[in-house]
C-alpha cells in the first residue's frame, strides 16, 4: 500500500478503536465498527489522488452519506481524545 495511505489507515484504526471502546464498550471492534473500518479501508485504497489530500479538502466525495455521518461521529469522539492520549504514550516511552 502507498505510504501516505498506510499512515492514514493506522490513524483511522486507532480512532475507530477508541470510539468503539468508549461508545460500545466491548473488547475489540463491534460488528458495526468493524464494517465501518473495512469500508473506510476500501475507500482509502481506491483513492485516485496521489498524494491523497485531506478528505475534508477532497473534491471526490467517495463516502456514502450514511458512512460519512458515521465517520464524522468517530472523528468528533476520538479527535480530542487522541490529543490527550499521545502525550501519555510519549511519557511511557520516555520512562522505559
Q: Least distance (Å) from Zn ion to the CB of residue 88?
A: 23
Does residue 14 interact with Zn ion by CB under 5 A?
A: no
Does residue 24 interact with Zn ion by CB under 5 A?
A: yes
Going from the C-alpha of 45 to that of each of 8, 38, 56, the distances in angstroms are 11, 11, 17
Interacting residue with Zn ion among 9, 30, 62, 75 (CB under 5 A): 30
Interacting residue with Zn ion among 15, 20, 36, 71 (CB under 5 A): 20
Q: Whats the size of the chain, residue-wise? A: 96
Segment 31 to 50, residues that bind Zn ion, using CB under 5 A:
33
CA–CA separation, 20 vs 14, rounded Å? Answer: 10
For the chain, report the end-to-end CA distance as a whole number of angstroms. 32
Asked whether the beta carbons of 1 and 9 are under 8 A apart, the reply is yes
Nearer to Zn ion, 24 or 76 (CB): 24
Q: Beta-carbon neighbour count of residue 53 at 10 Å?
A: 12
Nearer to Zn ion, 7 or 34 (CB): 34
Residues forming contacts to Zn ion in the complex (CB under 5 A) are 20, 24, 30, 33
Amino acid at each position: 500500500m502507498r505510504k501516505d495511505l498506510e499512515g492514514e489507515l493506522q490513524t483511522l484504526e486507532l480512532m475507530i478503536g477508541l470510539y468503539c471502546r468508549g461508545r460500545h464498550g466491548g473488547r475489540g471492534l463491534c460488528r458495526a465498527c468493524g464494517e465501518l473500518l473495512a469500508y473506510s479501508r476500501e475507500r482509502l485504497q481506491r483513492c485516485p489522488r496521489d498524494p491523497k489530500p485531506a478528505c475534508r479538502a477532497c473534491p471526490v466525495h467517495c463516502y456514502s452519506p450514511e458512512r460519512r455521518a458515521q465517520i464524522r461521529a468517530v472523528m468528533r469522539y476520538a479527535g480530542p481524545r487522541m490529543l490527550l492520549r499521545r502525550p501519555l504514550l510519549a511519557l511511557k516511552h520516555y520512562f522505559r
